[in-house]
Amino acid sequence: MIWKEKYKIGVSLIDAQHEELFRRVTDFVETLRSPVEWTGKVGKVNETLAFMKDYVVTHFRDEEAYQRKIGYPGLEAHTKIHNDMVRYVADVAAQYEQAGYKEQLMQQFAGKLLAWLINHVAAEDQKIADYERGRGAAGNE
Ligand SMILES: [Fe+2]
């Protein structure tokens, strides 16, 4: 999935984080879909899980701080979605540490990350920008 300018919410820190997430997830999905043995995918799985475990937490914290700052009314519901995602990533990491590379789990993980970019970053997060735009307009009246 390619990052597009229209996904920006107009906050440089958050936009840079979203772009990095797009890059990492796309890279991961491509590796998983490539017709090589699973042994050729393990390096990317290790890298992606280690990255996601930290980065997702940091990114969500920054995004929630911004939502709080602008008084975004969807903060509570949005935080819940974030917490579910953090739990999911931690759960996949734990399963992977315990059982090693399992094709089904990794394909499911890749699918979930991709769906998350489409449904969350490229859609749900846009509501933050919509709210801020509306707030700016109201403030100018
Ligand atoms: Fe979000």
Instruction: State what percent of residues in the chain have pLDDT above 90.
Output: 94
Is the pLDDT reported for residue 137 higher than 70? no
35 alpha carbon – ligand 1 mean position (Å): 33
CA of 129 to the centre of ligand 1 (A): 11
33 pLDDT above the threshold of 60:
yes
Q: Tokens 């996949």, residue? A: 92
Convert 86-104 to b/e letters by CB count within 10 Å (16 or more is b): beebeebeeebeeeeeeee
CA 117–ligand 1 middle distance (angstroms): 10
Mean per-residue pLDDT over the chain, rounded: 94
Domains and CATH numbers, the chain: 11-139 (1.20.120.50)
CA 141 to centroid of ligand 1, rounded, Å: 29
Which carries the bigger pLDDT value, residue 141 or residue 93?
A: 93
Please give the pLDDT value at position 1: 83
Q: Which residues contact 85 (CB under 8 A, 6 or more apart)?
A: 56, 60, 116, 120
